[in-house]
Amino acid sequence: MGPDSIFLIGAILAVIAMLYSSVGHGGASGYIAVLTLSGLAPEIVRPVALSLNVVVAGLASYRFAKRGFIDWGSAIPILIASVPMAFIGGGIVLPDELYRPLHGTLLAFAATYLIWQTKRSSAAFSAATRGISRFGGMASGAGIGFVSGLSGIGGGVLLSPFFLITGWAGARQTAGIAAVFILANPLAGLAGNYVALKTLPSQMFPWMGRPGS
């Protein structure tokens, strides 16, 4: 891949990062779509998507924490359960014939969720919540964390609709938890991927300077 292609893909990723970060997400589903359509191999797509998520989610987490929007009492148990599973998932290298269908399914889910989210009424966003179940939050966090590491997504696009649909958390609380979830799990997944492959793709370093900038 030549310098011009790297620059063009980087510019597209920057736009995706800006749009996703505006709602507290890291943008992995968008990165994966662009990188996969660019013909990059799964061993490049996954660590690149995870690393970009770390950069964007780190900025989002800082903004949410500074404004007091993160419910740490609920977030910490979820992270304790999810981070080890993201590391395990990141260490599993799926063959291409399994990896691409997994991504296709997750991208379809992400698109459905985004459409659903835009159609929700303001009353639905401000509706009372039942509170996050400690066991349920940790169990869902562990499962989504594993998928996050395995696929390269940050997990927020799975965690957010789950909490909103179950009524466990409102939109603001969910966004705050999702931001730190999307930061911690890609870090663990990236570490697991590095342990498995003993290397990281060179393309990720120039692109990490663009998203969210």
What is the DSSP track for 143-162? HHHHHHHHHS--SHHHHHHH
Angle at 31 between CA 147 and CA 88, to 5 degrees: 25
Which region, left, alpha or beta, applies to residue 205 given φ > 0 means left and ψ of -120 to 50 means alpha? alpha
Domain membership flag for residue 108? yes
- What is the extent of the structural domain holding 121? 3-208
List, for residues 37-63, the tens digit of each pLDDT value: 888 777 778 788 888 888 888 888 888
Q: Could you give the number of structural domains in the chain?
A: 1
Residue 34 phi, psi (nearest 5): -65, -45
Domain membership flag for residue 55? yes
| pTM recorded for the entire structure | 0.76
List, for residues 76-89, the tens digit of each pLDDT value: 999 999 999 999 99
Domain membership flag for residue 52? yes
Domain membership flag for residue 213? no
Domain membership flag for residue 106? yes
Domain membership flag for residue 167? yes
